[in-house]
Amino acid sequence: MATIAWKEIYQTGIVALDDEHKQLVAQIDRLFQAVRDKQGDDVLQETFEMLKDYTEKHFQHEEKLMQEYGFPGLEEHRQIHQQLRDSVDDMISRNSSDPQQLAKELLAFLRVWLLEHIVNVDKKYGVFLESRAGRFIS
């Protein structure tokens, strides 16, 4: 059975933030399995609720650390976070007559988020923060 699992490539180097990213990966896997089993609509609302909470708390956490340690890409990162929030809000606000299809779209969006944002964008702050404060900042 294929799954979406945490991989070393996703690590930013900041343990607390990686732990939060692992929660996202677990939810993506849950949605993946539901979509695969043609039951995506069963976990769609749960995933949206998790994402609303996650995008608030996790993004605030990242931005707080970036600000505290003077990360030079903070403003750009804030804009990217807002775009991700807006995308999630747009999907939530859709009144879909086909929840299974919306679950597939959400899964595709989350996979891109995982691969593009965490792997390519978050790694930049990870290297910076680790050099300034170590892996175990929180």
pLDDT at residue 4, rounded to an integer:
86
Q: What CATH number should be reported for the domain holding residue 47?
A: 1.20.120.50
- Answer whether residue 100 is part of any domain: yes
Cα dihedral 18, 85, 29, 44 sign: positive
pLDDT of residue 115: 82
Residue 68 lies in a domain: yes
Whether 138 is covered by a domain: the verdict is: no
Q: Which of 10, 16, 6 is nearest to 136 (CA)?
A: 16
Closest CA to 99 of 43, 137, 61, 56: 43
pLDDT of residue 31: 95
7 within some domain: no
pLDDT score for 50: 94
Which regions in the chain score pLDDT beneath 50? none
Q: How far apart are CA 88 and CA 55, in angstroms?
A: 9
* 103 CB neighbour count, 10 Å cutoff: 26
* Residue 41, pLDDT score: 86
> Which pLDDT does position 7 carry in this prediction?
93
| 126 occurs within a structural domain | yes
Contacts of 57 (CB under 8 A, 6+ apart): 20
Tally the domains of the chain: 1
**In contact, 15 and 75? CB cutoff 8 Å:** no
pLDDT at residue 2, as a whole number: 66
Q: Domain residues for 84?
A: 13-133
Chain-centre distance for alpha carbon 106: 12
3-state secondary structure (DSSP) of residue 19 = helix
Which stretches of 69-98 are DSSP H helices?
A: 74-93
pLDDT attached to residue 3? 83
